[in-house]
Amino acid sequence: MQNSMVESDRTGSKVLVEMIRATASAVEANRDTINALNVFPVPDGDTGTNMMLTLRSVVDDLGDDSSGTIGDIAKKMARSALLGARGNSGLILAQFFKGLSESLGTSDGEPLLRGTSFARSLRIAATNSYKAMPNPVEGTMLTVYRECADVAEASAAQNGSFENVLAAVAASSLETVRRTPQLLPVLAEAEVVDSGGFGFAVMLDGALRSLHGNEPAGRVVEVPMPGGTKFSGTVKADFVDASEEIDWGYCTVFAIQSESIDLDKLRAHMDQLGRSPIVDGTDGIAKVHVHMEDPGKALSAGLGYGLISNIEIVNMDEQTAGWAAARRNSAGRRRVPTLAAPKIAVVAVAAGDGLTDLIISAGLGATSVVEGGDTMNPSVADLLAAVNAAPSNKVILLPNNKNVVAAAQQVPDLTGKDVRVVPTRSVQTGVAALLAFSMDLSLDENAEAMNDVAGEVGEGRVCRASRDVTIYGREIKAGMAFATFDDVIVTVGRDPLFVLVKLIEECSDGAEIVTVYTGESLSPEQVKTTTETLEDKFADIEIEIVWGGQPHYDYLIAVE
Amino acid sequence: MSIAVVTDSTSDLPADLVEKHGISVIPLNVHIEDETFLDGVTISSDEMYRRLPDAKVIPTTSAPSVGAFVELYEKLAKTHDEIISVHISSKLSLTHNSAVNAVAEMSSTTTPIAVVDTQQASMALGWTAVRVAEAISDGASLDDSVALAKKLSERAVFIGMVDTLKYLVRGGRIGKAQGFVGSLLRVKPILTIREGEAHPLERARNRSKGIARIKSLVAEYAPLEKLAVLYTTDEDDASEIANDIAEFDPDGSPAVAQLGPVVGNYLGPGMLGLGLIRAEPS
């Protein structure tokens, strides 16, 4: 019959694979916007990036192969999605694939995706997602899944074809996303809608366009804002990476020889032409170090003071780009333990050289570190690989990031090893918990002891906002510094050190020791000033200042 | 039958206990720069800890010579029928070895001499010597005393919180506590002696948490037969701890003992800890 022939062309294995590819392109096309919808203006484990990478894992694993039934394909995708899941959004996304897999798995080798089976998959995804999240919250992807399942079931009941059901769900998902600020007040205040929910709506848009043969399937989708307002958030993903010294252009170094050189005049001259000039000299020779977009200008100017020599010019853009790319791809890299066969091993997630070194040094030789990634989080597969490579069959896993906890909790079921997850929500808590690790205790005793310590640590962070935002009654402009304590914004200011001092003042009542980790954006001078200021202001609290080297956060603190 | 009780200066026994129980204490040697001192005889603990951080050459220690043991045993043999000699773990010192060799040297003597490696140090060793002396006063035989000494070794516990592990590391006695070395955070390692060598117990985040932990450890080891609070340089802190844990001591008043120069050489200034014997499980 006419209808079923049309359907069979349009909802079989090949089409399913193309639709999933389209969801990945769609999220990629909208990634920056999805990231910009994160409530906290810190690009720390961004939703858009996490969802994009999770989908990429699925697409990469499928490759060009669309053989097998839709049930087989869905099963493969579910496994890829789970292993490739990054962050909470990645995990909830994995539930969507699991829903597809379970629904199509019960269809007895049915070759086509139907309205009914799609609706069933959404319902399974919704139910499981609520169960899988430790704190299920309305106004997030969970709500979108649930309402999509409602709409899909209603549409399928009216004898809707897969195409009709998908269209209905794609349209309604945008409306659900539009309403998320009503369900989750912090979204309303920050003037955003839920990022993960929008990400899913974008996926549905891509899938539908692929089904219709529209090109490109992945297109920019307008953010559905309440009351017809427009979302204007520009993401400045690199903003927080920039330190006081912005490193771009050419680093230009040369010497000037002359009987007498007016160093001050030379310095002022270089300051006019470029940035951050360092000019130094002794009898008859001056050394100039300046950042220029056009190094020739500095050299020409130098000629006016004497003979120039020892010229070195380095392209800082190349350096920075290479370094940034290395960092962006760094989530999942490992540092390994020194002991060959400890009784119990620890796998901990960390971002920042100092923090990584600290964890290794506190880890009794039995600890490996999984790189926490810059704007993305390690995937379930990254954590699983580290656990499987650990030199013991008994492993403690420390996610050290609230966006990695759920992924970590997937690991025990995926490995043959005996694993306990201590759900640390920040790296500074993880370090404190690690100090309770002891080879004299059993795996369970260790987990309990480390959990107890984690529960008693107060976590604080200081960073600069990557964009304007209003949150919890505070207006924060891009570039301003703000401090959170246990995820609540405590203070806002212009200067991170000033904000740090206020943070400690407000949150260290009754504390025995405050540990301050300095981030990679701080220069050695700034670290020195921090130390002096804190020693001065807090003479009666024990404060330990340690190099953390973490990205994004000027300071992380643990209060015990 | 009178039995003499011998131990060595690493037992850290306070003078009053030595005198009360008539224990003979053979001193180890402490070498600082070019000088050699007898532990607790020609150098005091306070002086040791004063010199320790600035010493240009790392101070070392050595066991009493075989000759010194022979001399002591021969002297005691004149006034006693038998001798029991209890000593610091052979993994931490050659003292036990020296004693055993001395006994072999004295093969012509008819006085039975029993040497016991307690696998302990400091007051865990000291209390063992005291309990053996008490048992002997109550009529224990040499064999009984040896059996008792061995049993007590298992119930004796040494706990030490140190400021730094560097003295243990450079003195080659870090043992199983190697994993605690090299921490980039300022933590206070708490160690014990297990199977005769240093063993890591816990890491306290700072000194005051460490002191709190020492007190809670006492409760975990209770009930106790003997209890002493140990220190190298911080007598006031030690006394305060002793006050707070007095209820766990059978006599209501724990001993407070300063670590002698030999053990102190490996633990350093600022150490606080416990030497105790747990009660026999009933």
Q: Which of B179, B184, B203 sits opposite A358 (nearest CB)?
A: B184
Burial of A215 (0-12, 13-18, 19+ CB in 10 A): exposed
What is the per-residue pLDDT across A213-269, written as a single tens digit (0 to 9) for each?
988 888 999 999 998 788 876 543 333 333 323 445 787 888 898 888 888 888 888
Distance from CA of A354 to the nearest CA of B (A): 9
Q: Do A361 and B185 touch (CB under 8 A)?
A: yes
Q: Is the pLDDT of residue A358 over 60?
A: yes
Report chain B residues touching chain A, CB-CB < 8 A.
Answer: 178-180, 182-187, 200-203, 205-206, 208-209
Q: Do A542 and B178 touch (CB under 8 A)?
A: no
pLDDT of residue B55: 76
β partners of residue B7: B25
Q: Helix, strand or coil for residue B158?
A: strand
Could you tell me what percent of chain A has a pLDDT over 90?
Answer: 63
Distance from CA of A300 to the nearest CA of B (A): 48
pLDDT of residue A356: 94
Cα distance between residue B61 and residue B43, in whole Å: 12
Q: Is the pLDDT of residue A323 over 90?
A: no
Closest CA to A95 of A149, A27, A145: A145
Q: B205 contacts in A (CB within 8 Å)?
A: 432, 435, 512-513, 560
Distance from CA of A366 to the nearest CA of B (A): 9
Cα distance between residue B241 and residue A50, in whole Å: 53
Q: Do A361 and B184 touch (CB under 8 A)?
A: yes
Closest chain B residue to the Cα of A545, Cα to Cα: B185
Q: Do B184 and A513 touch (CB under 8 A)?
A: no
Q: Token pair of B182, please? A: 């090299």
Closest CA to A194 of A135, A127, A143: A143
pLDDT of residue A1: 42
Q: A542 contacts in B (CB within 8 Å)?
A: 206
Cβ atoms A369, A360 nearer than 8 A? yes
pLDDT of residue A4: 47
Mean pLDDT (whole number) for A19-29: 96
Report chain A residues touching chain B, CB-CB < 8 A.
Answer: 354, 357-358, 361-362, 364-366, 431-432, 435-436, 438-440, 512-513, 515, 542, 544, 546, 560
Cα distance between residue A55 and residue A21, in whole Å: 8
B75 C-beta neighbours (distance < 10 Å), count: 12
Closest CA to A425 of A512, A360, A487: A487
pLDDT of residue A20: 96
Q: Token pair of A30, please? A: 């909208």
pLDDT of residue A3: 46
Distance from CA of A358 to the nearest CA of B (A): 6
pLDDT of residue A197: 97
Range of lowest pLDDT (A109-113, A513-517, B60-64) = A109-113
Q: Do B187 and A544 touch (CB under 8 A)?
A: no
User: A510 or A163, which is more confident?
Assistant: A163
Q: Which of B184, B202, B209 sits opposite A512 (nearest CB)?
A: B209
Size of interface A-B (CB pairs under 8 A): 48
pLDDT of residue A212: 93
Range of lowest pLDDT (A190-194, A289-293, B80-84, B148-152) = A289-293
Q: B209 contacts in A (CB within 8 Å)?
A: 512-513
pLDDT band, very low/low/confident/very high, at A554 (cuts 50, 70, 90): very high
Q: Token pair of A395, please? A: 């492993």
Closest chain B residue to the Cα of A457, Cα to Cα: B205
Cβ atoms B180, B168 nearer than 8 A? no
Domain A330-456 has CATH 3.40.50.510: yes
Which is it for the CA torsion A435, A438, A444, A448, positive or negative?
A: negative
Interface test with A, best of B180, B185, B186 (most A CBs within 10 A): B185
Q: Is the pLDDT of residue B25 over 50?
A: yes
Q: Do A357 and B184 touch (CB under 8 A)?
A: yes
Q: Do A358 and B202 touch (CB under 8 A)?
A: no
Mean pLDDT over each residue of chain B, to the nearest integer:
94
Q: Which of A357, A432, A544 sits opposite B186 (nearest CB)?
A: A544
One-letter amino acid for residue A197 of the chain: G
pLDDT of residue A322: 46
Phi, psi of A127 (to 5 degrees): -60, -50
B244 C-beta neighbours (distance < 10 Å), count: 16
Distance from CA of A302 to the nearest CA of B (A): 46
Closest CA to A104 of A59, A70, A78: A70
Closest chain A residue to the Cα of B208, Cα to Cα: A512
Task: For chain B, count helices (H), then strands (E).
Answer: 10, 13
Cα distance between residue A407 and residue A153, in whole Å: 30
Cα distance between residue A227 and residue B73, in whole Å: 99
Mean pLDDT (whole number) for A356-379: 91
Q: B183 contacts in A (CB within 8 Å)?
A: 361-362
Cα distance between residue A531 and residue A341, in whole Å: 39
Give every CB contact of residue B229 below 8 A, 6+ residues apart in sequence: B238, B239, B241, B242, B245, B254, B255, B256, B257, B272, B273, B274
Mean pLDDT over each residue of chain A, to the nearest integer:
88
pLDDT of residue A320: 47
Mean pLDDT (whole number) for A92-110: 88
Which is it for the CA torsion B100, B102, B104, B106, positive or negative?
A: negative
Q: Do B209 and A544 touch (CB under 8 A)?
A: no
Q: What is the 3-state secondary structure (H, E, C) of B175-222?
A: HHHHHHCCCCCCCEEEEEEECCEEEEEEEECCHHHHHHHHHHHHHHHC
First to last CA, chain B: 31
Distance from CA of B202 to the nearest CA of A (A): 7
Cα distance between residue A90 and residue A243, in whole Å: 30
Q: Which residue has the tokens 């007598």?
A: B235
Q: Is the pLDDT of residue A160 over 90?
A: no
Distance from CA of B126 to the nearest CA of A (A): 26
Q: B193 contacts in A (CB within 8 Å)?
A: none
Q: Give whole-number Cα distances, A135 to A132, A403, A406, B189, in Å.
A: 9, 12, 10, 37
Domain A244-318 has CATH 3.30.1540: no
Q: A512 contacts in B (CB within 8 Å)?
A: 205-206, 208-209
Reported CATH class of domain B3-154: alpha beta
**CATH for A2-228?**
1.25.40.340
Q: Residue B225's Cα: distance from chain center in Å?
A: 17
Give every CB contact of residue B244 below 8 A, 6+ residues apart in sequence: B215
Q: Do the strands A474-476 and A469-471 form a parallel or antiparallel pair, or are they unpaired?
A: antiparallel
Q: Do A361 and B183 touch (CB under 8 A)?
A: yes
What is the per-residue pLDDT across A480-504, written as a single tens digit (0 to 9) for each?
999 999 988 899 999 999 999 999 9
Q: Give whole-number Cα distances, B211 to A8, A477, A519, B14, in Å.
A: 75, 46, 32, 22
- Angle in degrees, 0-180, between the axes of helices B142-155 and B122-137, rounded to the nearest 10: 150
For chain B, strand residue ranges (E) read 3-8, 24-26, 29-32, 35-38, 60-62, 82-87, 113-117, 156-161, 188-194, 197-204, 224-231, 255-258, 272-278
Q: Is the pLDDT of residue A314 over 80?
A: no
Q: Do B185 and A362 touch (CB under 8 A)?
A: yes
User: B56 or B112, which is more confident?
Assistant: B112
Q: Do A513 and B203 touch (CB under 8 A)?
A: no
Q: Do B179 and A358 touch (CB under 8 A)?
A: no
Mean pLDDT (whole number) for A117-123: 96
- Angle in degrees, 0-180, between the axes of helices A162-183 and A141-157, rounded to the nearest 10: 140
pLDDT band, very low/low/confident/very high, at B197 (cuts 50, 70, 90): very high
Domain B156-278 has CATH 3.30.1180.10: yes
Closest chain B residue to the Cα of A437, Cα to Cα: B202
User: Could you tell me the residue ranges of all domains in chain A?
Assistant: 2-228, 244-318, 330-456, 459-559
Q: Is the pLDDT of residue A316 over 80?
A: no
Total residue count of chain B as it appears in this document = 282
Burial of A27 (0-12, 13-18, 19+ CB in 10 A): buried
Cα distance between residue B221 and residue B235, in whole Å: 23
Mean pLDDT (whole number) for A371-382: 89
Distance from CA of B266 to the nearest CA of A (A): 21
| ipTM of the complex as predicted | 0.88
CATH of A459-559, one of 3.40.390, 2.70.98, 3.30.70, 3.30.1180: 3.30.1180
pLDDT band, very low/low/confident/very high, at A293 (cuts 50, 70, 90): confident
Q: B174 contacts in A (CB within 8 Å)?
A: none
Cα distance between residue A156 and residue A118, in whole Å: 9
User: Could you tell me the residue ranges of all domains in chain B?
Assistant: 3-154, 156-278
Q: Is the pLDDT of residue B253 over 60?
A: yes
Cα distance between residue A2 and residue A203, in whole Å: 29
Q: Is the pLDDT of residue A157 over 50?
A: yes
pLDDT of residue A334: 66
Cα distance between residue A187 and residue A180, in whole Å: 7
pLDDT of residue A429: 96
Q: Do B206 and A513 touch (CB under 8 A)?
A: yes
Q: Do A513 and B182 touch (CB under 8 A)?
A: no
Total residue count of chain A as it appears in this document = 560
Q: Do B183 and A515 touch (CB under 8 A)?
A: no
Mean pLDDT (whole number) for B49-68: 87
What's the pTM value of the predicted model, to 2 decimals?
0.83
Q: Do B185 and A440 touch (CB under 8 A)?
A: no
pLDDT band, very low/low/confident/very high, at A64 (cuts 50, 70, 90): confident
